[in-house]
Chain A
Amino acid sequence: MGTISIEHGDHLYWLGRYTERVFTTLKALQKTFDKMIESEHGYTEYLSYFGLTDIYADNWDFIKSFLYDLNNYNSLAFSLERAYDNGIVLREEISTEALSFLQLAKDTLAKAQKAPNPRFALLPLEDLLYGFWGCVYENIYDDEIKNIIKCGKAVERLDLYMRMNYSYKKVKKEYTRLCKNLESIPENTPYRYNSFYYNELSDILDSSDEYKTDGQKAIISLGHIFDKTEVSA
């Protein structure tokens, strides 16, 4: 494997997680926007996914906070800033071109804040993230390094899909994707999976019935997937 440091490995993993968080959150917020057309509090379901209290006066108050507020750790702006923070220290690995997509994403979000129809103004953000990932995959030639960012992305997507009650079919698809990434990680490297939690996750997600009853446990197992200490059953 190429000479990247442990620190850069971590930044790659979190770059994958935060860019995916922006992407999946954006899609969920677009759906929430749609619900708001007919409802004054169309966002309550979104809050319930994450166990958050409704402290918002109306739809617009919620939107302002979840799109643009850097002090809201669940906002799109916060996740995008963290993605940028992790990306900016990886220029020589991912390239200036790839970073430019993150800069454009930040600019697009900033412009949307002033736009009369933020939902419309945010549409290019999805394209920019596709462009970003394409550019990253194009520039990292070492499959092992590329797999670190893919793992981060897959963990984040599966986690959010489970929290947002996506259908078993969709969750299973993302779980299968994650398994492929995890199996490619060599032993004795920082992102080698923890066998105990991996097996626990597999037991639940291999069956739709298990997923229905133990979905919360699956989220917890996923959170421990890279724990260093192996656990006996």
Chain B
Amino acid sequence: MSLQPEQTKFAQAVGNADEINELLRRYGVKFGIYKNGVFNEQFFPFDPIPRVISAEDFKGIEKGLVQRVNALNEFLFDIYHEKKIVKDGIVPEDFIYISKGYLAQCEGITPKNRIYSHISGIDLVQGKDGEWYILEDNLRIPSGASYPLIARELTRIAAPEAFTNNDIVDNRNYAKLLKATMEHANCGGIRAILTPGRYNAAYFEHSYLAEHTGSVLVQNDELFVEDNMLYHRTYSGGKTRIGVLYRRIADEYLDPLTFYPDSLIGIPNLMEAYRSGNVGIINAPGNGVADDKGIYYFVPKMIQYYLGEEPILHNAPTYLPFYADDMKYVMDHLEKLVIKDVAEAGGYGVVFGNELSKEKLEEFRKTIIAEPRRFIAQEVIDFLDLPITDNGETVMRKADLRAFVLSGETTKVWASGLTRFSRNPDSFVVNSSQGGGFKDTWVLSR
């Protein structure tokens, strides 16, 4: 295949991936995956050809993402307080209360500085027309920032001239941004990152971010609440107060006294300490209501409602079978749409109509009619393929971009991101758990 001259320049900038992959291996850049119930650690395949975003493009993305995340934070405050957006008929009540992410236990809680989504992972794709589209918002525990962070550090060792010869924004400030974000939510005490443990898919990231933000990496059995404060039980028999907890476990497992009473994990009374403003939790519990695939449809309306602005970045054209008009459209065009189950994540529950047999399509049609709230339908965006190296050849593959937006004193977009690509030429699914790889994301400084 042939590349444009500009693409060729960047494709050759880093050179061979072998040295970088050797370094990534050396530094244990892995993710965990369960296959047939057995845990395996895999190295995350890195492609040396960077995704390059021009300074002008990034400026637009940055503005659009800040706008979007600010609106989502307003929405979360509203939903757990007055619900004005529902009362004003912008978002139907059904989409709030049926959402698995809505947690009644979070009603009335106002986190410090009114920030709910401190770290937002927004997935985007670029269409062939050059336009960027939002694919989904991840406001609970978005992962992936550590991979481009360490990859950049190692690429600078393996291919220093790539950075001398190109004007690339230095992205190695992520830990600093994260630390400042954590400090902004700190209610008095040390910073801690709560991990489910070594056998979690993103354990590398948890430990790497703890190391680089100078936070203590903890597991739930090392923590306890006393006098409505969260503490870390120390080796010498003492206790240290935790002021902010960057938790990497799901809401439902945070506190068995609030959520699952049968759960063996979690920290009893954590939610009460949080509600009292004695500990910050990053991201706030209950955020799932805002990154629900069904709520995604309403984000542009939220921007207009809360900020009085027109959305800068657009959603992929989306239909809600919940609405009669949209249901009709979905039924008439099912074979060309991509259908997503709102309850699924990680690339699962995604069905491309054109890949279904006639019988399966009819079966699926009935499921959508029976459970309209469970699905959204989207036009398949003809998104820009990116070059990757495959056995020494350059081939084109589907890729997305997870941008990281950090909300502290101000809302900032990290000038980088996780570009994931599909290794399968026929697939749109880029998730690492399904065999995808990643590449560095260069934001040009001019």
CB distance from B129 to the nearest CB of A (A): 41
Contact assessment for B26 and A1 in the assembled complex, using a CB-CB cutoff below 8 Å:
no
A232 within 8 Å of B by Cβ? no
Given known A-B contacts A99-B28, A103-B28, A5 and B211 have beta carbons under 8 A apart: no
Contact assessment for B235 and A1 in the assembled complex, using a CB-CB cutoff below 8 Å:
yes
A89 within 8 Å of B by Cβ? yes
Contacting residue for A88 out of B25, B207, B211, CB 8 A? B207
Contacting residue for A5 out of B208, B215, B235, CB 8 A? B235
Residue of B nearest to A190 (CB): B235
Contact assessment for B234 and A3 in the assembled complex, using a CB-CB cutoff below 8 Å:
yes
A55 within 8 Å of B by Cβ? no
Contact assessment for B207 and A5 in the assembled complex, using a CB-CB cutoff below 8 Å:
no
CB distance from B230 to the nearest CB of A (A): 13
Contact assessment for B218 and A186 in the assembled complex, using a CB-CB cutoff below 8 Å:
no
Given known A-B contacts A3-B190, A96-B211, A189 and B28 have beta carbons under 8 A apart: no
A180 within 8 Å of B by Cβ? no
Residue of A nearest to B209 (CB): A92
Given known A-B contacts A5-B232, A8-B235, A190-B235, A91 and B207 have beta carbons under 8 A apart: yes
Given known A-B contacts A91-B208, A92-B211, A103 and B235 have beta carbons under 8 A apart: no
Interface code B179-219, partner A: CB below 8 Å = 1, 0 otherwise?
00000000000100000011000010001101100011111
Determine the chain A residues whose CB is within 8 A of the CB of B25 once the complex forms: 103, 107
The prevalent SS among residues of B at the interface is mixed
Determine the chain B residues whose CB is within 8 A of the CB of A1 once the complex forms: 234-236
Determine the chain B residues whose CB is within 8 A of the CB of A92 once the complex forms: 207, 210-211, 215-217
The residue in A6, A91, A103, A104 that gathers the most chain B C-beta atoms within 10 A of its C-beta is: A91
Contact assessment for A7 and B210 in the assembled complex, using a CB-CB cutoff below 8 Å:
no
B233 within 8 Å of A by Cβ? yes
Q: How long is the Cα–Cα vector from A144 to B222 in the complex, in angstroms?
A: 20
Determine the chain B residues whose CB is within 8 A of the CB of A6 once the complex forms: 222, 233-235
Interface code A70-110, partner B: CB below 8 Å = 1, 0 otherwise?
00000000000000010011011001100110011001000
Q: How long is the Cα–Cα vector from A92 to B175 in the complex, in angstroms?
A: 13
Determine the chain A residues whose CB is within 8 A of the CB of B215 once the complex forms: 92
Contact assessment for A88 and B222 in the assembled complex, using a CB-CB cutoff below 8 Å:
no
Chain A-chain B contacts (Cβ-Cβ < 8 Å), number: 73
Contact assessment for B26 and A103 in the assembled complex, using a CB-CB cutoff below 8 Å:
yes
Determine the chain A residues whose CB is within 8 A of the CB of B211 once the complex forms: 91-92, 95-96
Q: How long is the Cα–Cα vector from A188 to B234 in the complex, in angstroms?
A: 13
B237 within 8 Å of A by Cβ? yes
Determine the chain A residues whose CB is within 8 A of the CB of B12 once the complex forms: none
A4 within 8 Å of B by Cβ? yes
Determine the chain A residues whose CB is within 8 A of the CB of B323 once the complex forms: none
CB distance from A155 to the nearest CB of B (A): 18
Contacting residue for A9 out of B150, B208, B232, B235, CB 8 A? B235
Residue of A nearest to B198 (CB): A89
Residue of B nearest to A87 (CB): B28
Contact assessment for B210 and A91 in the assembled complex, using a CB-CB cutoff below 8 Å:
yes
Determine the chain A residues whose CB is within 8 A of the CB of B27 once the complex forms: 96, 99-100, 103
Contact assessment for B233 and A5 in the assembled complex, using a CB-CB cutoff below 8 Å:
yes
Q: How long is the Cα–Cα vector from A1 to B235 in the complex, in angstroms?
A: 9
CB distance from A117 to the nearest CB of B (A): 23
Contact assessment for A5 and B237 in the assembled complex, using a CB-CB cutoff below 8 Å:
no
Determine the chain B residues whose CB is within 8 A of the CB of A8 once the complex forms: 235
Q: How long is the Cα–Cα vector from A95 to B208 in the complex, in angstroms?
A: 9
Residue of A nearest to B232 (CB): A3
- Give the contacts of A154-208 with B (CB-CB under 8 A): 186, 188-190
Extra A-B contacts (6), CB below 8 Å, given A7-B222, A92-B207, A96-B27? A5-B235, A7-B221, A100-B27, A107-B26, A186-B236, A188-B236
Q: Interface residues, chain A, CB within 8 Å of chain B?
A: 1, 3-9, 85, 88-89, 91-92, 95-96, 99-100, 103-104, 107, 145, 186, 188-190
A-B contact pairs, 22 of them (CB 8 A): A3-B190, A4-B235, A5-B218, A6-B222, A6-B233, A88-B203, A89-B197, A89-B198, A92-B210, A92-B211, A92-B215, A92-B216, A95-B211, A96-B28, A99-B27, A100-B27, A100-B28, A104-B26, A107-B26, A188-B237, A189-B235, A190-B235
The 10 closest A-B CB pairs, nearest first, are A91-B207, A92-B210, A92-B211, A9-B235, A5-B222, A3-B240, A100-B26, A4-B235, A92-B217, A103-B28
